[in-house]
Amino acid sequence: MTGTPHNVEQHWPARCTIVPPYLLVRLARLTDPRYAGAAEAARQSLLRDLPLRELRIPAQPPTPLSGAPRTAAATRPGHRPGSIDRTVADAGGRELLPGRIVRREGQPPVADLAVNEAYDGLGSTHVMFWTQFQRDSIDGAGLPLDASVHYGDHYDNAFWNGERMVFGDGDGQVFNRFTLSLTVIGHELTHGVVQHTANLDYRGQSGALNESIADVFGSLVEQFAFGQSTTQASWLVGEGLFTDQVEGTALRSLKAPGTAYNDDVLGKDPQPSEMAGYVDTDADNGGVHLNSGIPNRAFYLVADALGGNAWEAPGQIWYDALTGRTPTGSTLAPNADFADFARATETAAATRFGVDSAEQHAVTTAWHTVGVSTLGAR
């Protein structure tokens, strides 16, 4: 998988959404008239999302990552590597994409806060990936970054559809607008990075890895943008998305999966933090938003053990494992499980920092702590 396009289709959903379907299902089932608006918004959001989750679309060819990385100039004449090209459109409450273009690259802020938040979030994500990993946009080849805001009527989600970021405005009772959280923007664009590298299947453990990697780099985008060290960072994904009517801080916590919210209406955050709590289910594509808590915590433990800035050594290790930057140039299989990824991160740490280095030790210890073995081969 070093630049050769896939010859088979992968199970990549048309929408990789930030809000897990189990949260929307819980809201949709509410009968309390006080939550009638939120319940209806959740029902309509589910109708938009769930019918498309099993849609099969052709896999994108991964970016060549062994040897010299492909530059944008090779495929996009006139593009300067590392430069950014953003476009934000306004869907105007409709479900037709992209909508009316309201801000292009280099144009000043507009009166619409959601437009400016999306524009800035695209930029923050691009800067982090380019500065830290020399990745030229999400495809490694200068792909323009496009987003649409104000999608649907009180749409309770944000998603990456394989081509662009799309943001709903929330119902105003449970969810705020989805451009509000930088981790959400970084998360969804990272799904694009995964799509153009390992192209992990969106089901079971590979799907949970897909979600976890998006959470990890979404968190790193925020930490990098605000200059937050490992100890200063909140390690929350979607902080601020809940209104003040919800007893919760965010959708997920990398530091302590299962603690992001505990609300009478939404229930308690169900994410496990170790393999002993792994959820075996057919729902949510095999629990991709649930079991992602396990590799999420592994990354936090590595960052906590090494200290400093998580986008440096820990982020580099995860990026190398995802993209296959090893001496052999090998990459993860699309159906990689937790153990496969654990071994890939251990190899990446040893390759970049040395065998028996503090970095490799931190990686091995972290996976052991969450109950994932790095020994042997599948």
Q: How far are the Cα atoms of 7, 186, 246, 358 from residue 175, in angstroms, in the given order?
A: 40, 18, 9, 41
Contact assessment for residue 267 and residue 274, using Cβ atoms and an 8 Å cutoff: no
Measured CA to CA, the distance from residue 296 to residue 103 in angstroms comes to: 34
Question: Could you give the CA distance from residue 295 to residue 272 in angstroms, rounded to a whole number?
Answer: 10
Which has the closest alpha carbon to 352: 297, 301, 314? 314
Residue 81 in tokens: 């590597």
Find residue 52's DSSP bridge partners. Answer: none
- Asked if 274 is an active-site residue, the reply is no
Between the alpha carbon of residue 93 and those of residues 51, 87, 168, the distances in Å are: 20, 18, 8
DSSP for 69-89 reads PPPHHHHSTTPPTT---EEEE
Q: Which residue, 236, 209, 214, 369, is CA-closest to 295?
A: 209
Indicate the SS3 state at residue 167.
strand
Task: Give the contacts of 65 (CB within 8 A, at least 6 positions apart).
Answer: 2, 3, 140, 197, 323, 324, 325, 329, 331
User: Does residue 251 come out as left (phi exceeding 0), alpha (psi in the -120 to 50 range) or beta?
Assistant: alpha
Phi, psi torsion values for 103, nearest 5 degrees: -155, 130
**Residue ranges with strand state E in 94-198:** 100-104, 145-149, 158-160, 165-167
State the catalytic residue, choosing from 79, 150, 154, 188: 188
DSSP code, position 175? B
Beta-strand relationship, 86-90 and 145-149: parallel
Quick check: is 312 catalytic? no
Residue from 79, 289, 346, 359 carrying the catalytic annotation: 289
User: Residues with catalytic annotation?
Assistant: 188, 289
